[in-house]
Structure 1
């Protein structure tokens, strides 16, 4: 009798779960979990579609990976690029959001202008910046007009190419950060800021003690999204630099995964790269979330 009473409320909930949750779980399992499992399986083999059959090699691909100078260089390149893309749009996006946190059609128009690059195709953005940063492009023409005799080759010089790529990605992601910070600013109580101003707190003190703490959730969202976007960058590299100039100057881990898997046809080795990249992204995001959400809780 007791079991029947306990079972009755569970059955409707189970039916509701199967009706509403099962489709989403099925899609997630088919398009996210299954590819990860298959990729991990390939990473344990020397799979080459043009040289069957595949042989089981265990963890050999992973051991070779961390002895591979090309992979280690791509890991360094990706880390530098990620640091640029996480910091620059966050800092500039916050500053621009503070300037645009006003009413009026002019500020609404500016918000649209800043958000436009986010919705543009990566290929379109890349082609625009290739023209701007070419040796005879608009930027270098402006520098020559300003008296700089020998402007740098933004995309052709190995000393500048990686940082130029970081600037391009930061420019495209800037509008996303602006919108998220603007949404956060809308949630800061106006009465609280007015009370602080009446008590004699200046703009810097109001920002430090009221606005900035209440933007913690917006900072968390921006940081995690930028972290994921930057670490898996491929499109910009393929269109703008193709991993150059020079040997692997701008070749990211994701770029090397595609090149190794589909150009060199070493899909077992490329799968090992992809799994390592997945683990790094997952760990980095988990650490960032834990640190940033702890700050939210403390507030």
Structure 2
């Protein structure tokens, strides 16, 4: 056997590098311009007292971050955002799983019901907010129905500081329910029928089959829903702006995102608002990373 004295020549690196750059550059540029650059600018602003109407900005270091620790309005917004996020993560997940189990059947009726549940997801959050504002108004259809049933003093769903946050969370949950249903339905349809049949042959009932077979295989669906709901709830702004404008009372429904925009665009304290935004980014990124890590541990490799 004759061996060639010359080994296989390697392709030049430069053409391969240019090929990679030509395909990857557009996406990288979009990411740099619309994600990394705004984050960097916000961090820079957060270290100053920047106000667009009273330049120049002075470097203040970590002063804005130290002020946040003693700012009752910010701490209240952090609490409101945390409660809202907790509700929005738990309720649509549980309700979506239940609805998905009911709709995991064949037939035109079930296909129509899936469309009905998913319709709120494609609606604008502003449209949803306006509709529910009318429904939950003190003189709205819900309270009118309660009066017709004999309730003399129906609740002020959006005017009572003790109820407004939970009413707001219910509206967000209602719109996000359809998303969770679709994700769980996709997960249910991916469960191998032979595993369920084998469990049934072994004598497992419906509850046992769900706990031992279906639920573990829905781990990826749970991860997707939880992460999406977590991020969506923590940056809630439009619902608050349209429905309650941060009220009633003193910030009963004001989230961090709402305070960021109010402080930055209404009060023109861009430096302080940027510090709020950076803190919110750190919190969301940290919590999401921890939740993602914990949920991925229980995912089943099919």
Normalised to the residue count of structure 1, the TM-score between the two structures is 0.96
State yes or no: 1:90 paired with 2:101: no
Q: Which entry has the higher C-alpha Rg, 1 or 2?
A: 2
1:125-136 map, 5 Å: 125-136=128-139
Aligned mate of 2:298, from 267, 278, 295: 295
Aligned mate of 1:236, from 225, 236, 239: 239
Structure 2: where are the runs of 5+ without partners? 1-5
Residue equivalent to 1:189: 192
How many correspondences in the alignment?
296
Distance in 2, Cα, partners of 1:250 & 1:5: 67
Distance in 2, Cα, partners of 1:191 & 1:108: 24
Structure 1: where are the runs of 5+ without partners? none
Give the SS at the match of 1:159. coil
Distance in 1, Cα, partners of 2:125 & 2:155: 24
Residue equivalent to 1:108: 111
Aligned mate of 1:67, from 53, 65, 70: 70
Distance in 2, Cα, partners of 1:139 & 1:12: 67
State yes or no: 1:224 paired with 2:191: no
Distance in 2, Cα, partners of 1:205 & 1:12: 58
Aligned mate of 1:149, from 136, 139, 152: 152
Give the SS at the match of 1:48. coil
Shift of 1:295: 1.1
State yes or no: 1:258 paired with 2:238: no
Residue equivalent to 2:218: 215
Residue equivalent to 1:46: 49
Residue equivalent to 2:251: 248
Distance in 2, Cα, partners of 1:142 & 1:207: 39
Residue equivalent to 1:78: 81
More helix by share: 1
Distance in 1, Cα, partners of 2:268 & 2:45: 12
CA-to-partner distance for each residue in 1:141-168, whole Å, 9 max, x for gaps?
Answer: 2222333222110000001000000000
Distance in 2, Cα, partners of 1:89 & 1:222: 9
Shift of 1:113: 0.4
1:14-53 map, 5 Å: 14-53=17-56
Shift of 1:20: 1.3
Normalised to the residue count of structure 2, the TM-score between the two structures is 0.95
**Change beyond 3 A, Cα 1:156–1:10:** same
Distance in 1, Cα, partners of 2:104 & 2:85: 28
Shift of 1:298: 8.2
CA-to-partner distance for each residue in 1:74-133, whole Å, 9 max, x for gaps?
Answer: 000000000010000000000000000011111010000000000101111001101111
Deviates more, 1:19-28 or 1:46-55: 19-28
State yes or no: 1:161 paired with 2:164: yes
